[in-house]
């Protein structure tokens, strides 16, 4: 059943259905950064017009939202309706099948926002519940549910992570030059950038940024894990004494390069590996193709990749049309010594943009639409 009028012209979902589903979707967002590579999921058990149990998927490897909601509801779940933002699973992984828990609890009806495209579910959860006599309606607020799990769906359906391009620029569109020894944006914007890092499983810069800025690329000033750190380094010249390598115990580091041909490159790779850095050789040329890298990250089940590279990396990323979203921090200051990131004009628009005031700066976040 879809979230549209049915063959008889009736609305398949009531206002009450939509209200409870909206609450489940809203609650699910609290799992961001903790559940990946799993999806964010929220659930609510409703009986007699009131919520008798609510739950979310809180962390990877932990109980799923449906199980948490059913535990909260207890005996009140019998004969109730379960609203869940994603099709219940029917397979055994790190946890048992949610379908078993739903049937055992005596739930009469399940309303789920969308089918889970994961190949071990993909409609089988709904089929299992219906076979057990549980009424199932699918498609309530499906668009909102897909938006909630955009990163998960990108990984499952496209085999690669959701890519977020992030940069800071001045009011006239300039980014910091390598020689510019000051921040473009204020502390509030930098803290917000660290919150963005905390919900991404990987962060990437080019070796030029490593050599010019000597960044750490960990999550600081805010709560949350540090992402796996990747460096695009075709020349394989990442210093073994840079801050990234010196902080390898804080978060993993992978240097991505081309073929390890020649004794000099082999020796430099060995030195990085001896320091605890993974050296990943991709492709057969000096420049690593974005398609190859993103496919590899998909195999590693990276859900979100934050690209914080300098001008060369960002231009390459956009030229390959490999970024899905942008997070652009804009200062009210005029550029001065900055560098024009898009000297011939931006080759994209930011669609569905959300503009937020962050201290003295503004953050524009949205989906990229290429020209």
* Active-site entry in 66, 87, 142, 308: 66
- Alpha-carbon torsion 68, 74, 76, 80, what sign? positive
Q: Let me know: does 277 contact 245? Beta carbons within 8 Å.
A: yes
User: How does DSSP assign 200-217, residue by residue?
Assistant: -SEEEEEHHHHHHH----
Helix, strand, coil percentages (3-state) for the chain, rounded to 5, are: 30, 25, 45
Peptide bond into 37 cis (omega under 30): yes
Q: Could you tell me which of 304, 112, 315 has the C-alpha nearest to residue 208?
A: 315
Q: Could you tell me which of 74, 69, 72, 60 has the C-alpha nearest to residue 88?
A: 69
- Say which residues have a Cβ less than 8 Å from residue 210's Cβ, sequence separation at least 6: 231, 233, 238, 239, 242, 244
Q: Which residues pair with 369 in a beta bridge?
A: 349
d(CA 293, CA 300) in angstroms, rounded, equals: 11
Q: Please tell me what DSSP assigns to residue 85.
A: S
Helix/strand/coil (H/E/C) assignment for every residue in 115-129: CCCCCCCCCHHHHHH
Number of residues in the chain: 371
- Long-range contact pairs involving 54-60 (C-beta distance under 8 Å, separation at least 24): 54/23, 54/24, 54/27, 56/27, 56/28, 56/30, 56/31, 57/28, 57/31, 58/30, 58/31, 58/34, 59/31, 59/34, 59/35, 60/34, 60/35, 60/36, 60/94
CA 265 to chain CA mean position, Å = 33
* Cβ atoms within 10 Å of 225's Cβ, excluding its own: 15
Q: Decide if 58 is catalytic.
A: no
* Cβ atoms within 10 Å of 351's Cβ, excluding its own: 10
Active-site annotation, residues: 66
């Amino acid at each position: 059943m879809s979230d549209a009028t049915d063959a008889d012209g009736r609305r398949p979902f009531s206002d009450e259905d939509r209200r409870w589903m909206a609450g489940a979707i809203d609650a699910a967002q609290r799992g961001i950064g903790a559940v990946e590579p799993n999806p964010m999921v929220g659930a609510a058990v409703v009986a007699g017009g009131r919520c008798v149990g609510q739950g979310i998927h809180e962390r990877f490897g932990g109980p799923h939202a449906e199980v948490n909601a059913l535990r909260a509801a207890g005996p009140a779940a019998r004969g109730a309706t379960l609203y869940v933002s994603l099709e219940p699973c029917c397979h055994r992984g790190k946890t048992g099948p949610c379908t078993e828990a739903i049937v055992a609890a005596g739930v009469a009806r399940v309303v789920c926002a969308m089918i889970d495209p994961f190949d071990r579910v993909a409609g089988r959860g709904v089929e299992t519940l219906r076979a057990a006599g549980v009424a199932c309606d699918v498609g309530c607020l499906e668009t909102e549910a897909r938006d909630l799990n955009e990163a998960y769906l990108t990984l499952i359906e496209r085999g690669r992570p959701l890519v977020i391009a992030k940069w800071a620029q001045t009011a006239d569109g300039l980014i910091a030059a390598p020689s510019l020894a000051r921040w473009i944006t204020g502390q509030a914007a930098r803290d917000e950038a660290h919150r963005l890092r905390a919900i991404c499983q990987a962060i990437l810069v080019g070796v030029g940024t490593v050599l010019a800025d000597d960044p750490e690329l960990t999550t600081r000033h805010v709560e949350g894990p540090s992402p796996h750190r990747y460096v695009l380094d075709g020349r394989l010249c990442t210093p073994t004494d840079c801050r990234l390598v010196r902080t390898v115990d804080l978060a993993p580091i992978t240097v991505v390069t081309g073929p390890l041909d020649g004794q000099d490159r082999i020796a430099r790779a060995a030195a990085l590996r001896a320091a605890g850095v993974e050296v990943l050789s991709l492709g057969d040329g000096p420049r690593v193709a974005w398609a190859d890298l993103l496919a590899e990250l998909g195999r590693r089940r990276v859900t979100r990749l934050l690209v914080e590279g300098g001008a060369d990396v960002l231009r390459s990323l956009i030229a390959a049309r490999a970024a899905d979203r942008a997070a652009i921090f804009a200062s009210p200051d005029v550029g001065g010594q900055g560098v024009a990131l898009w000297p011939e004009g931006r080759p994209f628009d930011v669609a569905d943009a959300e503009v937020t005031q962050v201290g003295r700066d503004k953050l524009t976040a949205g989906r990229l639409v290429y020209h």
